[in-house]
Amino acid sequence: MFQELKNIFEEILQAENDNLVDICSHNYKGNYLKNAFLESDEKIVNLISIIETKIKDDKFKNYLTSLERAKYKNEVKIREEEIKYNPSFRNISFLKTYKERLDNLSFDSMMNNFLSDAEIDSEITTTNLKEKYPFFCLLKLLFDAFKMNKRFDFEKENNLTKFYRDNKIDLNLKNQYELIKIDDNFEIIPNNSLSYILDNKLSVYISLREISYEVLVLLNKLKVKNIITDLFLRPDYSTPMKSLCMMEELERGNIFSFDGLKSPEVSKLFSVDNYKNCLWINIDGKNITFEELCDDFDNHGESIITQVVHLEYKGNFINHIDHEYIFYTADEYDKRCTDYKQQGKKFKTFKVDNSSIPFTLENGDFFLYRILDGYFKHKDLLIEYFQNVLKTTE
């Protein structure tokens, strides 16, 4: 991405974060980027001018089209999953539109789609910005890609640690993974759109990163019941909020994918070295490690990203479990496809220690299913693996 875009994006991201801090005050402006466009903010005007100049470059146009293609592929997957449980007219209609746009996608068709979207957007139709709206959509694609590339960035000096230092409190992010330990001072507040922890000492809310609503609800329940002893979560490193209004809940169907599967005996699970080059399971009698390697792998800069869930167990109880993203160079990833010992750089999202979590919970749910389902993308591989395990234990 061009440096002049990055510099302005940094300023916009800071303004967007500041806006979120005021989420419950009269200063909160909702969708910051779109409102800035509607108000002809100078930064947005400058960005659109840069983009209009750059799209003469075919490589830049191809890059923008690739971002839109990735967005629609993701939308198609989400809607297909939701339709399994909620075949509403709305979901089916969205899926049809996304597939049609994906099948016919080119730079020109993308710009025409943006113009069509402007026609039905009441905020746009009441302004004279319709012709600029497609370029705003390109700007948003680039800004979202910019934020995604910063998703795994962590600076030791950040707004969160500064806020606590100013209040003469050590947040204790000096652990190896920069996670917050959830002690009696913190209260977990799960939410479909964005989850938080409440610091009761300072009466501020810290948003959480890289954990699904379903997984957080499960971990919180087990923490309240003292089944989990030590829980560590990854915070957002922006300034905490002094008040909180829960965002509108996301529309969702029942996305739990393991209904009907029995709980296998842990001692009868078996190690699979190479499972369709996508799912690796390594078991040594004390540890189980699941790593998802996907054909449609995610990238961060020049790194290829996989996901790992690792647990330590004794008998029928899990003592430790964590989830992390693993970053491989292209060469490391090629080696990893044939060698499970190949290492990459780790980014941990949560960690549980010193606990006694039963594999099968009181309500009959298999705990490991719930965690894997909350993170891994290819549910079919998980289902097939566990069904094969169950067949060997009958």
pLDDT in tens, 272-314: 554 445 788 888 878 989 998 877 677 777 788 999 999 999 8
Closest to 310 (Cα-Cα) out of 328, 292, 335: 292
Confidence of residue 354 (pLDDT cuts 50, 70, 90): very high
Residue 153 confidence (pLDDT) above 50: yes
Closest to 380 (Cα-Cα) out of 243, 212, 258, 240: 258
Q: How far is CA 248 from CA 30, 93, 251, in A?
A: 12, 22, 9
pTM confidence score: 0.77
Residue 253 confidence (pLDDT) above 60: no
Mean pLDDT of the chain: 83
CA 187 to CA 196: how far, in whole Å?
Answer: 8
- Angle between helical axes of 107-119 and 133-149 (0-180°, round to 10): 110
**DSSP-based three-state secondary structure for 204:** strand
Tokens of 286: 């004390």
Higher pLDDT, 204 or 151: 204
DSSP bridge partners of 327: 305, 345
Per-residue confidence (pLDDT) for residue 28, from 0 to 100? 44
Per-residue confidence (pLDDT) for residue 4, from 0 to 100? 73
Residue 48 confidence (pLDDT) above 90: yes
Which amino acid makes up residue 237? Y
Higher pLDDT, 105 or 293: 105
The dihedral through the CA atoms of 163, 13, 194, 66 has a sign that is negative
Confidence of residue 218 (pLDDT cuts 50, 70, 90): very high
- Residue 272: how many CB atoms within 10 A of its CB? 16
- Residue 201: how many CB atoms within 10 A of its CB? 11
Tokens of 350: 């949560």
Please state which of the ranges 83-92, 98-107, 162-171, 276-285 shows the lowest mean pLDDT.
Answer: 276-285
Rounded average pLDDT over 46-70: 92
- Percent of the chain exceeding pLDDT 90 equals 42
Q: How far is CA 347 from CA 11, 20, 171, 177, 325, in A?
A: 26, 25, 19, 7, 5
Residue 172 confidence (pLDDT) above 80: no
What residue ranges do the domains of the chain occupy?
A: 3-149, 159-233, 266-393
Measured at the alpha carbon of residue 263, what is the angle toward residues 260 and 269, in degrees to the nearest 5?
Answer: 125
